[in-house]
Amino acid sequence: MHQPEASKWVSDDGQAAVDVRAAVRTGDIGAIERMLRADPALARARLGSKESGSATPLHLVAGWPGYFPNGPQIVGLLIAAGADPDARTTARGSSEPGPGSETPLHYAASNDDLDVAEAMIDGGADLEAPAGSIGTPLDNAVGYGCWHVARLLVNRGASVDKAWHAAALGMLARLEAILGADPPAENVSQAFWHACAAGQRRAAEYLLSRGADLNWEPDYADGTPLDSATGLGTRQENVISWLRELGARSASSD
């Protein structure tokens, strides 16, 4: 894959990186505008180093936990100023992207930040960017239980070419077409697990009729289909963590 060369590298603890990070986390559009006027190259700069790994300002907007104030507007500002929506992260010890390197859209897909993901797509982000932590942005969205971004990606044209995608999204006709007449048992059981994780009962019933293992466990996640069905999606987990950080309490704990 081709990675456009960044205009500059900015150390993680450099003032520019500190300022960009603070502006992103507080949603300070004015500060972002001032920084870009003073240094337009900052839009596509790499924040970090070969030793620590690097990302771009767009990755900061899309990064965990997401939902930063004015995130979509800041995405638009950065892309208009020349930020590359398909820039990849780099790992520790490398100045170039490698296996598992992710685009900002991968990041948004992994925390279910729908508005930021939509801004990235509007800015030209590649829906099919491969080789992220799971694969494409859709692989990430479905794999991490990010159902809002998963549906956005499909609505905007992402390919649904795996049975576990179709099952998790409740796309029954597509699921049947992907499986065909004699699918591998592993594919059926994997799709069943993801249908249960996504609360797609009709897809789960269909897959069970095709021979899915009721208690199949993947090697990339913990638990059976029942365990996956009783878990929470990424967006719910995110909100719960946020509320607890604010000191919110449950009525049942009174």
Say whether pTM exceeds 0.75.
Answer: yes
What is the CATH code for 160-254? Answer: 1.25.40.20
**pLDDT tens digit sequence for 76-116:** 999 999 999 999 999 988 888 888 999 999 999 999 999 99
The size of the chain, in residues, is: 254
Tokens describing residue 191: 């799709």
Q: What percent of the chain has pLDDT over 70?
A: 96
Instruction: Choose among 33, 107, 18, 15: nearest CA to 70.
Output: 33
Tokens describing residue 18: 């500190």
Range of lowest pLDDT (85-99, 129-143, 172-186, 203-217): 85-99
What is the CATH code for 1-87+100-159? Answer: 1.25.40.20
**pLDDT tens digit sequence for 212-222:** 999 999 999 99
Domain spans in the chain, listed from the N-terminal domain onward = 1-87+100-159, 160-254
Sign of the four-CA dihedral 62, 63, 66, 69: negative
Q: Cβ atoms within 10 A of the Cβ of 254, count?
A: 5
Decide: 125 and 156 in contact? Cβ < 8 Å: no
To which residue do tokens 């996640």 refer? 221
Tokens describing residue 102: 């992710």
